[in-house]
Amino acid sequence: MSGWWILVTIKVLIIAAGVMTAAAYLVLLERKLAAWIQDRVGPNRVGIPLTRIRLFGLGQPLADGLKFIFKEEFTPAHVDRWLYWAAPVIILTVSLAAFAVIPFGSVLPSSVGVEGERPIELVLAPGVDVGLIFVFAMGSIAVYGVILGGWASNNKYSFLGALRSSAQLIAYELPLGLGILGVVAATGSLDLRAIIAAQAETGCWFLFSQPLGFVVLVIASFAEAARLPFDLPECEQELVGGYHTEYAGMKLLLFLVSEFLHMITGAFLIVILFLGGWHFWGLTGVGEEVGWFRAIVRVLVLLGKVFAVILFFQVVRWSWPRFRFDQLMAFCWRVLLPLGMINLLAVAVLWECFISQAIWPGGLLAVSVAGWLVFGLSWYGLGCLRPTIADNRPALSLMPDDIDWQV
């Protein structure tokens, strides 16, 4: 029992330190990427403290953290103090808790295991058969942190940001769930490790057999993480800072870090559910019993895929203009939700016909071909029904000409 507690403590420390450090340096990466896209110089001066060694600006996250720490912890007099302080704590806690069931690889060799030479599973809480539900639950609770922050701030900009957040995040959970249900139906499991194992055994990632569900999940993940072009809860041009307008210092830092943790969680889900997780053909193998080399390769493959997805998130942020809020909600209810339902129906029919009943030779190939046909026909049909043209003229230009607007 003592060995188990030591192992859990080590896992908690490694995951917490690794995730928080990754969030800090992903901010630096995003700032450098934004500078490159906008043809300007990004952060490049802060290096080793108390020296003139700049190291390409790699000391910038440390400087930013110290700045937040030494800022005055000011609490406005007009806020609800308990809820005002609770909001950032809640959102950071649940953002970190989601990583309890996310695997960072497969296993380490049994020679370094504990309790009878058992292999060490590279997940904080192994054996959780409902890992997907747990991640969804943590994401749903995080919405309350944003809403509480906006409500407790007693500020109209914060309140509008909280209202937008409650509508946006709750609405986009529906297409997010529909995109995932196709994978659950194909594997018959809610365990993230079992989903990776299913893709490794067949060698066919769900990206190839369910491209429509993949696209729905990726777009919904942008909205769930409140990333551009869906960052309406904190839209600076309209709401100053949205739900965290009244926050500064460490409390603001907790909100900002939580936003990046949501992006990292979304990247892990995309990789695990549709990009094979730690699997790569001819490199990572299939079985659980692995040596040191293959165990490390699996970790590197998984983290490399996650990093590529995060890089895609960041490129989109600085390449795509922001949606209007009505366009954002219309896109959810009129585009993503129907596509998610079509994907779930198609997966149920195709896997029942070609995999379960095996009425067609080469079932996986048939499912993949049919999946891409469903993907193309769905987007084409929806494009015909919902033309991608929006009237962005000011509201006054849409009014009748005979109205006298002069006072």
pLDDT confidence of 359, banded at 50, 70, 90? very low
CA distances, 378 to each of 1, 263, 350 (Å): 54, 27, 15
Q: Tell me what pLDDT residue 396 has.
A: 54
The DSSP secondary structure of 37-53, one letter per residue, reads HTTS--S----STTSS-
| 380 contacts 219 by C-beta, under 8 angstroms | no
Q: How far apart are CA 4 and CA 181, in angstroms?
A: 34
Q: Tell me what pLDDT residue 405 has.
A: 45
Once rounded to an integer, what is the mean pLDDT over residues 145-165? 85
Tokens of 406: 């002069």
Q: Tell me what pLDDT residue 109 has.
A: 78
Q: How far apart are CA 169 and CA 161, in angstroms?
A: 12
Helix extents (H) in 71-191: 81-97, 131-152, 156-187
H or E element that contains 307: helix 292-317
- Between 316 and 322, the more confident residue is 316
pLDDT of 290 higher than 80? no
Is the four-CA dihedral 326, 329, 333, 334 of positive or negative sign? positive
Tokens of 378: 């769905």
Q: Which amino acid is at 318?
A: W
Q: Tell me what pLDDT residue 407 has.
A: 42
Q: Among 174, 15, 205, 24, which residue's Cα sits nearest to residue 101? A: 15
Q: Among 214, 249, 295, which residue's Cα sits nearest to residue 71? A: 249
Q: Tell me what pLDDT residue 387 has.
A: 57
- In tens, the pLDDT along 168-217 reads 888 888 899 898 999 998 888 899 999 999 898 888 899 998 999 999 99
- Which residues neighbour 237 within 8 Å (Cβ) at sequence distance 6 or greater? 322
Q: How far apart are CA 205 and CA 187, in angstroms?
A: 12
Q: Tell me what pLDDT residue 113 has.
A: 47
pLDDT of 146 higher than 90? no
What is the residue extent of each domain of the chain? 1-70, 74-387
Q: Among 227, 231, 221, 230, which residue's Cα sits nearest to residue 268? A: 221
pLDDT of 116 higher than 60? no
Half-sphere exposure of 10 (CA within 13 A, CB side): 9
Residue 172, φ and ψ in degrees, nearest 5: -75, -5
Q: Tell me what pLDDT residue 356 has.
A: 59
